[in-house]
Structure 1
Amino acid sequence: MFYGLWTKFTTQPGEGHRLVEVLLEAATSLQDVSDCEQYIVSTTEEADTVMVREIWTDQAAHAASLQLPATRQLIEQARPILLKVERLLEDQPHGGKGLA
């Protein structure tokens, strides 16, 4: 069974696009991390809001990813433009299209 996470990021006014860039860089940095099954960055009609959907092999793999040097650097880049980070949902994906 996998570990899934949905996170909502709210940025300073007008900074949503900048956060998208940072989070897409995070997604690129995870390309060679085999425990990361999915890292999807999206926006909604809600201004200055960015959503991230992550699927990991397990919760420990996700926790370990937060200690990677690239991840730490990107967190520091994002911190000044963030107003709020909400962990909306943790779930256990069982499979489906795009998930091995």
Structure 2
Amino acid sequence: MYYGLLTKFTTQLGAGNRLAELLLEAASSLEHVTDCRQYVVSMNDEPDTVMVREIWTDQAAHMASLQLPATQKLIEQARPILLHVERVLEDQPHGGKGLK
């Protein structure tokens, strides 16, 4: 079993694409973090909204990732353009395609 999160980020007007870029940079920085099984950034027709689906080996691994220097840097860059962060879902994925 894993630890999963779905988070909805709402940005200032016109800043959705910039936030998506920052979050994709975060995904790249986690490329070699073996405890991160999935980090998917997506947008829909809701303006200035970005969603992130994360799956980790466990909650402790997710919490540890928040202390990584690259993560801290990206959080600081994103903070000025964020209006709201909502944890939409916290779950325990059991497996499936892409999760081994």
TM-score, with length taken from structure 2: 0.99
* Structure-2 residue corresponding to 1:10: 10
Question: After the TM superposition, which segments of 4 or more aligned residues of structure 1 sit over 3 Å from their partners?
Answer: none
- 1:72-93 CA-to-partner distances (Å, cap 9, x unmatched) read 0000000000000001110000
Q: Give SS of 2:31's match.
A: coil
- 1:41-100 CA-to-partner distances (Å, cap 9, x unmatched) read 000110000000000000000000000000000000000000000011100000001111
* Structure-1 residue corresponding to 2:39: 39
Residue type of the alignment partner of 1:78: A
* Structure-1 residue corresponding to 2:75: 75
Aligned-residue Cα RMSD (Å) equals 0.3
Aligned residues: 100
The unaligned stretches of length 5 or more in structure 1 are none
Distance 1:45 1:3 in 2: 28
Q: Give SS of 1:96's match.
A: coil
The percent of aligned pairs where both chains have the same amino acid is 77
Distance 1:96 1:61 in 2: 20
Shift of 1:2: 0.1
